Structure 1
Amino acid sequence: MSATRVLVLNSGSSSVKYQLLDMRDSSRLAAGLVERIGEETSRLRHTPLASGGETRESLGPVADHEAALKAVAEELSRDGLGLDSPELAAIGHRVVHGGRTFTEPTVIDDTVLAEIERLIPLAPLHNPANLTGIRTARALRPDLPQVAVFDTAFHTTMPESAARYAIDVATADEHRIRRYGFHGTSHAYVSRATARLLGKAPEDVNVIVLHLGNGASASAVRGGTCVDTSMGLTPLEGLVMGTRSGDIDPAVIFHLARVGGMSIDEIDTLLNKKSGLIGLCGDNDMREIRRRIDAGDEEAKLAFDIYIHRLKKYIGAYYAVLGRVDAIAFTAGVGENASEVREAAVAGLETLGLAVDGALNAVRGDEPRLVSPADARVKVAVVPTDEELEIATQAYALVKK
């Protein structure tokens, strides 16, 4: 039997999320999470999906990422799915930042590792953790292809008119300042899934994808190719998010430094961790914000209105960029589950062909579905994202060439 399994690893600074998939039918064989790595209270949760077994949980110190991956390997072995299996074709790694260098999934060698490391200044919180996971996995299975799938890759097709900031070109080039975009695996997956939902090929469909989770981003996808996205040099730009401000006048930073006496690190923390919904109303959970609104909380209502106002602006902007829009797809935690957000985001945009059907929009489900009226000119879709499947699909396609 040829190898058909792919292990997907998403290594964070203190966690490792993983899924093992069989690419013959894209089925999930196992999934889990190791969190609080390096602490006494580390925890591993493992679910053997292939056998339908119950989730196993273990508590206790996990010293580092090497120990975490060894623990994952042991759990997989208990289910007959060990890393030493000849059925394992590749390990796919999520890597946040690929700069302009990596435009597609890439088999990892020492040169690739060095380039990912060179890109650390562009993603100082993420790329180091991604590298740790890669190095650990390579040490455990040096004979196995390891594939990097980059969050930024899908957005490298943006034209220079969308990717360039209007600052001095020499300065921008020297410091690699441009709009890279993020959540690329999600935008790629959802744009193609939306085309399938419409019964069309991706190259025949123009889609606005709204990835709305604690982090949030929008993209304009023309014929399967990204032509614009809301996040920029970092994931701070764009939509109002759970804890991030999104778009803001850059002079606010100068003002806070000169007048407010804040340091660069303090401003960084403010805009990334104390802004967005949590900065506006003290909550970054849309369910709690909606509960507060229903109870008459004006602060929560204003936060929601600001969130929706920004979202509408991007829908309108990307409608203009694309010229023709076939569908708008909502995805990720908020996009998939908050019917009020979907309804509010398109309210008043009927002249653009946008509307939701109240009954369809209220239905919850795990499958892609349309929530717009049957005769709507622009379809409104809810498409659950699947970044792990996207990473596995790209990795498998590469190693099977």
Structure 2
Amino acid sequence: MRILVINPGSTSTKIAVYEDEKPILLHSITHSADELAVYDAITEQQDFRRNLVIKELHRANIPVKFDAVIGRGGLVKPIAGGVYEINEQMLNDTLHGCVMHNHACNLGCLIAHEIAITIPNCRAFIADPGVVDELSPLARISGSPLMPRICIWHALNQRAIARRYAREIGKRYEDLNLIICHLGGGISVAAHEHGKAIDTNNALDGEGPFSPERAGSLPAADLIRLCFSGKYTEKQLLKRIAGKAGLTAHLGTNNMKEIQERIKNGDKQAQLITDAMIYHTAKQIAAEGAVLCGNVDAILLTGGMAHSDYITNELRRRIGYLAPVYCFPGENEMEALALNALSVLKGTSKAQIYQ
């Protein structure tokens, strides 16, 4: 089975071609700020990015003939985890109905569908998008009935890492209790109980620890006062929640290598803010230990910042008392998407219907 994988990010489009479990192409197409500046909305980039994907396939001498195209899922309705066949309802919700944010992940299903319909007998999927919602009833309740808790998190990578860890120890994901922390541009921490993420934060919209690009949880009354201060527009304030927040707001950059170099050179402010991010992340991990009543088989750290020994060692120092801590640096998203599509093509799992 030949599978095309498409994973759009804010400044890149990652693509991969798999023959069964074997990758025969892995490539990241970088988009400059000038290239993207001409588009008001991210969904307007669809044709531009699709054409670059096709161009890269031609450059690599790979025929545009696939059994499936799978894209990174977007911010549609809250859904259960798994693989979904792209349908008209999903396309409509991505373009018009449910897009809460101008986020690049919304391009995944649009481009996958557009390429797949040009290929005979080719199916189009998404898998484990960031809106996967398996929260327990208790987790949904906030202190205001006007604002029930929702989750937007790194579902695809977290579930892939959970399954990988389970395979490595000879167990099933569904038999384990895990706390998984994705350390990326946003930070999501989830309590996985027997194969379901029963509690996790809204890592995009302002909840949990702050991160390189996200504000995380903020003092509510101060935020309301700021909204009515007249100093900022709604668009500017939303950027202060996601985009120009966290390390970016404090230190002027989201580049951890640059920040760590500044720390080595004696920058005390960079040290303080980085340590504060680690502190609040550890606190969130410990909170998920309470969700699982202390019955935690392992804590898994993943995402780009898990490459940093300093960050992972400091987290381990603070939360190692809860359970053994294991690191899986980087993201496993391309392989996870390919294997999800392959499982449907081979009949070992069934694609769900988006409604």
How far off is 1:231 after superposition? 2.0
Counterpart mapping for 1:139-154 below 5 A? 139-141=117-119, 143-152=121-130
Aligned pair partner of 2:327 in 382, 385, 396: 382
Q: Does 2:247 align with 1:277?
A: yes
**Which letter does structure 1 place at the counterpart of 2:153?**
F
Q: Is 1:306 matched with 2:276? A: yes
TM-score by length of 1: 0.76
Correspondence for 1:225: 196
Q: Does 1:180 align with 2:151?
A: yes
Q: Residue 43 of structure 2 aligns with which residue?
A: none
Aligned counterpart, 2:344: 398
Q: CA deviation at 1:225?
A: 1.6
Following superposition, the deviation at residue 199 of structure 1 comes to 3.2
- Cα pair 1:97 1:150 within 8 Å, conserved: no
Q: Point out which structure has higher relative CO (alpha carbons under 8 A, 6+ apart).
A: 2
Structure 2: distance between partners of 1:294 and 1:36: 31
- 2:258 corresponding residue in structure 1: 288
Paired residue type of 1:179 = I
SS of the equivalent of 2:242 reads: helix
Matched with 1:71 is: 55
Change (3 A) 1:340 1:38: closer
Return the alpha-carbon distance in structure 2 between the equivalents of residues 100 and 209 of structure 1.
20
SS at match of 1:122: coil
Residues 81 and 127, structure 2, Cα contact 8 Å, conserved in 1: no
User: Is 1:158 paired with 2:153?
Assistant: no
Counterpart for residue 350 of structure 2: none
- Deviation string 1:146-178 (CA, Å, 9 cap, x unpaired) is 11224235x42211221343433xx55xxxx64
Change (3 A) 1:310 1:260: farther
Match of 2:69 among 86, 91, 103: 91
Q: Would you say how many aligned residue pairs link Structure 1 and Structure 2? A: 337
TM-score when normalising by structure 2: 0.85
| 8 Å contact from structure 2 (residues 80, 134) kept in 1 | no
> What secondary structure is seen at the aligned counterpart in 1 of 2:122?
coil
Unaligned runs of 5+ in 2: 38-45, 348-355
Q: Structure 1 residue 242 and structure 2 residue 212: aligned? A: yes
2:126 alignment partner AA: A
Q: Secondary structure at the match of 2:215?
A: coil
CA RMSD in angstroms, aligned pairs only: 2.8
Q: CA deviation at 1:321?
A: 0.8
1:326-358 per-position Cα deviation (integer Å, ceiling 9, x unaligned): 1111111111x11111121132446x35xxxxx
Change (3 A) 1:280 1:127: closer
Report matched runs for 1:2-401 at 5 Å.
Answer: 4-12=1-9, 15-23=12-20, 26-36=21-31, 64-76=48-60, 78=61, 81-84=62-65, 88-101=66-79, 103-126=81-104, 128-141=106-119, 143-152=121-130, 155-168=132-145, 178-231=149-202, 234-259=204-229, 261-323=231-293, 324-335=295-306, 337-349=307-319, 352-353=321-322, 378-384=323-329, 385-401=331-347
Q: 1:36 to 1:341 in 2, by over 3 A?
A: closer
Percent identity, please: 23
Q: Which moved more, 1:303-312 or 1:289-298?
A: 289-298
Conservation of the 8 A alpha-carbon contact between 1:37 and 1:65: no
Residue type at the aligned position of 1:167:
S
Flag the structure with larger Rg. 1
Q: Distance in 1 between matches of 2:282 and 2:67?
A: 43
Displacement of 1:14 in angstroms is 6.6
Q: Aligned in 2, Cα 1:13/1:216: closer, same or farther, shift over 3 Å? A: closer
Say which is worse superposed, 186-195 or 253-262, in terms of deviation.
253-262
- Structure 2: distance between partners of 1:40 and 1:260: 32
Q: Quick one: distance in 2 between partners of 1:114 and 1:287?
A: 40
For residue 94 of structure 1, report the CA deviation from its aligned partner: 0.7
Partner amino acid, structure 1, of 2:339 = T
Superposed CA offset, 1:8-66 (max 9, x none): 0123577432001122xx22100223333896799xxxxxxxxxxxxxxxxxxx97234
CA distance in 2, matches of 1:349, 1:149: 31
Query: Could you list the runs of 5+ residues in structure 1 that have no partner in the other structure?
Result: 43-61, 354-377
